[in-house]
């Protein structure tokens, strides 16, 4: 998970101007797309552990993921 879903400093700039639910949703979709080369078909396709890991990095509650 660390290898594929950790944000690099330059990637953090991409989500820096987003806020609230949009920030977490964008971050999850951003990393999912990098890893899978596609967007998820539904929000349940992204494992909860991935959402929690990403939310922790951007200091947000994982429950805000509502894509």
List the end-to-end C-alpha distance of the chain, in Å, as a whole number.
21
On the question of pLDDT at 5 being above 90, the answer is yes
Check if the beta carbon of residue 64 is closer than 8 Å to that of residue 55.
yes
pLDDT band for position 67 (cuts 50, 70, 90): low
The pLDDT tens digits for 14-66 are 898 888 889 999 999 999 999 999 999 998 999 999 999 999 999 999 999 97
Phi, psi torsion values for 64, nearest 5 degrees:
-75, -10
Q: What is the pTM of this model?
A: 0.90
Q: What is the DSSP string of 22-55?
A: HHHHHHHHHHHHHHHSS--SSGGGS-HHHHHHHH
Task: Determine the pLDDT at residue 21.
Answer: 87
């Amino acid at each position: 998970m660390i290898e594929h879903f950790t944000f690099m400093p330059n990637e953090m700039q991409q989500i820096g101007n987003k806020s609230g639910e949009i920030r977490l949703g964008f971050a999850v979709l951003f990393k999912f797309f990098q890893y899978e080369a596609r967007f998820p078909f539904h929000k349940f396709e992204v494992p909860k552990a991935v959402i929690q890991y990403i939310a922790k990095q951007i200091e947000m509650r994982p429950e805000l993921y509502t894509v």
